């Protein structure tokens, strides 16, 4: 990765971070450790059981990706960005002042912060 400046305050995690946190019902604030744990539980559950536990899940086109997303995000936060597993500085809102917290909004926030 690139050398990023020191982080002050919270890390605003948008797009797949927010959608994954919502899927796992983690709220807006998440830790890599919690995400790793819920992801491991989801990934180790038989597909048939997952569909039983989550009514309507079969219609969710993103359902198969949540296993990967949990592992990817936890690894990116810790190994990529250097956060400790137990950090509580990651905030993943689905909406920010009424707008969807998409990757495009994240890119704008990043550009304005430079």
pTM over 0.85: no
Name which of 68, 48, 66 is nearest 58 in CA terms: 48
User: pLDDT tens digit string along 21-58?
Assistant: 999 999 989 999 999 999 999 999 999 999 999 888 88
Position 20 scores a pLDDT of 93
């Amino acid at each position: 990765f690139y050398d990023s400046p020191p982080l002050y305050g919270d890390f605003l995690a948008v797009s797949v971070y927010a959608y994954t946190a919502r899927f796992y019902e983690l709220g807006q604030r998440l830790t890599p450790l919690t995400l790793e744990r819920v992801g491991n539980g989801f990934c180790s559950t038989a597909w048939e059981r997952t569909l039983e536990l989550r009514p309507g899940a079969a219609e969710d086109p993103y359902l198969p990706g949540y296993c990967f997303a949990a592992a990817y995000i936890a690894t990116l936060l810790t190994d990529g960005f250097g956060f400790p597993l137990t950090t509580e500085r990651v905030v993943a809102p689905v909406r920010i002042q009424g707008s969807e917290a998409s990757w495009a909004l994240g890119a704008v926030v990043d550009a304005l912060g430079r």
